[in-house]
Amino acid sequence: MNVFIGKKAPVFHAPAVINGQEIVADFSLEQYVGKKYVVLFFYPMDFTFVCPTELHAFQEKLPEFEKRNVAVVGCSVDSEFSHLAWLQQEKKKGGIQGITYPIVSDFSKTISMNYDVLAGDYDTNEEGEMIATGNPVAYRGLFLIDKEGKIRHYVINDLPLGRNVDEAIRMVDALQHFEENGEVCPANWSKGKEAMQATNEGVSGYLSHH
């Protein structure tokens, strides 16, 4: 498995639905570099049960992300047309109507592979036949990308396990607090609590090199 921390987020160009209604053919995270932080999250599939609760949870907290200068972007292996159809479906009927942040189509599954969140794999059997193993959808991966385009935090959940959106916000707060104050954030830190001065050699060395 790849370790992404401190590395540039894998680049992609893919179709996406923005503002809940408009398909753009060439969506990329590069538009945010130097301007915004990004929370990129993957979910398994459109028209499923757990996924809409997550997508709506991110939407409900979107003002919290926006006031922290964070762009929220969703992604699954469905087509942009599937995204668009799901966006037309009412929330009470299991749809995601009302979602305004971009939802990327990873129809080729290459984005999920590059971010190492694809639950399936491809191989060749003894007869030379291409076969798929596992489930060719994305795990519930979440990546916090800083304004330089580097990944500073990520978490990957198995398919049945929904995420905590408040925890994603807490990680944004921790990163921004460190960037602004040079203080490191201890366990269970949340915005408004005291952080710690970086005094031990390991952290001081880290700070001087970053």
* Structure tokens given for 128: 């030379």
Supply the pLDDT for residue 204. 41
Supply the pLDDT for residue 33. 97
Nearest to 77 by CA among 26, 50, 113: 113
Give the chain's domains with CATH numbers.
14-162 (3.40.30.10), 164-210 (no CATH)
Cβ pair 193, 184 in contact under 8 A:
no
DSSP 107: T
The segments of the chain whose pLDDT lies below 70 read 1-2, 183-190, 192-210
Question: Is 51 an active-site residue?
Answer: yes
Supply the pLDDT for residue 120. 84
Cβ pair 204, 198 in contact under 8 A:
yes
**How many other β-carbons are positioned within 10 Å of the β-carbon of residue 135?**
14
Supply the pLDDT for residue 62. 97
* Beta bridge pairs of residue 153: 144
Torsions phi, psi for 108 (to 5 deg): -80, -10
Cβ pair 117, 75 in contact under 8 A:
no
State the pairing for strand pair 70-76/118-124.
unpaired
d(CA 90, CA 195): 43
* Structure tokens given for 182: 């040079």
d(CA 105, CA 13): 10
Supply the pLDDT for residue 133. 80
Catalytic pick among 9, 29, 33, 51: 51
d(CA 44, CA 137): 5
Supply the pLDDT for residue 201. 39
Taking each helix axis as running N to C, give the angle between helix 50-60 and helix 165-181, from 0 to 180 degrees, rounded to the nearest 10: 40
Supply the pLDDT for residue 183. 61
HSE, side-chain direction, 13 A CA sphere, residue 115: 32
